[in-house]
Structure 1
Amino acid sequence: MINNVKRKKAKKKIFLESLLVFFIAISPFLYKAYEYLPYNSDGDASIFGMIIGNHGFPSTQTFLWFLTSKIVPLYLLVFWFLTSRDWWYHIIIIPIAMYSFQMFEVFYSSDHYIDTDNIWWLIPICMITIPFVYFIRIKLYDKHVHGIDLEAMEAELEELKAKGYSSEKTDLSIEFKDDVIQKEESNTDMSTGTIENFLKNIQDRIQGWLHLKF
């Protein structure tokens, strides 16, 4: 029974990964698909029985070119975000948001201009994501280059307390730990752990829904 469940999960995982590979492989062809769609005498395109107009663009072909130039990079970035295991993968949220806002502006903006005000919509996302990734880099640099690991130091201090060591014997360690903490707190007043766990939970939850574990 357990083997059957594992086989089903493995089959679904391979199927979904194959879909990812397929859409990545055909991305150049999807980008140019607008050139080969059937257009009627009015210049409108017909896709699966749906008639698509120009939506304010000079022509329907120009409109579809704009869409494909946003949709293809957007879904490739989403795939990258879902499958990445690099420490800096959170920064991919910024270009994802950029393309999403550009798509939103095309369909819901009341003026006749595109790619204008959406840059200001990115500022709040950049203000959160960029410092967050930078602070992760600081932690990694301190841990792997300087050899400073606050979590290991905390665990060591707790172990010393559990063994009954007096505070006098651990004053130097505590002072060193406080110096490191003050150094990091001078760079930021926000906790990166909470945001990191939040973004990690989003990625893991989506991968759980799709049964994608890389």
Structure 2
Amino acid sequence: MSLDIAICFMIVMIYFSWFLPYFIPDNLPFIEFFGVKLGAFGFKDFSMFVWFVSRKLVIIFILSSWFITSPHWWRYAILSPLIIYSYQFWEAFQDVSELDSVGNLRVFPLVVLNVALVIMVSRFVKYRSQFMAVYEEISREVDEMLDEMKSKYPQEAGETLERIRQGKKGKGYRQKLRALEKEIAARLDLTNG
């Protein structure tokens, strides 16, 4: 329930962030909002600053909602562009002469760390999927053996044993029992394993 609310909030914020710059008049050096003076932070005017920041926010909200809703293991790869755009958003509020350029090198170690994490997780998933494939193959063979044991053969072997018991005093009693034993062992594949 709270995840749905968070996603709805992000969708509303994406829409609001996209159209926010169109509500701000051009050529304003600053704006006062509830007693707080917000400047252009090195941009030509305040509307340009809001346009830049709102575009970064739209991408951050889209990537965040994709990261939150993705059920797949590779969703951590989404963190790399999310880290870069979050830094660029933060950088817009700093007094720098160039944006989206050399400053991105500051977050490069975080991106490399995230890529290394994704590679490690992918290898773990690869090995686990290989083990799961072997496990499924073994499970299938065990199921086939159990199905084979559920066949009429155990009943037939029991009837054969009963006939041998009834002819106990007859010639070759032990030989017939040993032959039945070998047949059952071969059937269960106990002697070859």
Deviations, residues 78-137 of structure 1 (Å, cap 9, x unaligned): 33333332101212221121012112322234x322112232123212322212212322
TM-score of the pair, normalised by structure 1: 0.51
Q: Runs of 5+ in structure 2 lacking a partner?
A: 136-193
Q: Specify the code of the residue in structure 1 equivalent to 2:107.
A: L
Q: Which of 31, 35, 42 is the equivalent residue of 2:18?
A: 31
Q: Return the alpha-carbon distance in structure 2 between the equivalents of residues 101 and 127 of structure 1.
A: 15
Q: Runs of 5+ in structure 1 lacking a partner?
A: 1-12, 153-214
Kept in 2, the 8 Å contact 1:38–1:45? The answer is no
Q: Return the alpha-carbon distance in structure 1 between the equivalents of residues 25 and 111 of structure 2.
A: 41
Q: Specify the code of the residue in structure 2 equivalent to 1:126.
A: V
Flag the structure with more relative contact order, 1 or 2, with Cα contacts below 8 A and sequence separation at least 6. 1
Corresponding residue for residue 83 of structure 1: 69
Q: 1:59 to 1:101 in 2, by over 3 A?
A: same
Structural mapping, 1:63-212, within 5 Å = 63-109=49-95, 111-144=96-129, 147-148=130-131
Number of corresponding residues: 135
Identity value in percent: 24
Q: Specify the code of the residue in structure 1 equivalent to 2:104.
A: I
Q: Return the alpha-carbon distance in structure 1 between the equivalents of residues 33 and 66 of structure 2.
A: 28
Q: 1:131 to 1:36 in 2, by over 3 A?
A: same
Give 1:46 deviation, angstroms. 4.8
Q: Return the alpha-carbon distance in structure 2 between the equivalents of residues 135 and 95 of structure 1.
A: 18
Q: Specify the code of the residue in structure 2 equivalent to 1:90.
A: Y
Give 1:66 deviation, angstroms. 0.6
Q: 1:95 to 1:56 in 2, by over 3 A?
A: same
The alignment's C-alpha RMSD in Å is 3.1
Q: Specify the code of the residue in structure 1 equivalent to 2:97.
A: H
Q: Bigger radius of gyration, 1 or 2?
A: 2
Q: Return the alpha-carbon distance in structure 1 between the equivalents of residues 78 and 119 of structure 2.
A: 14
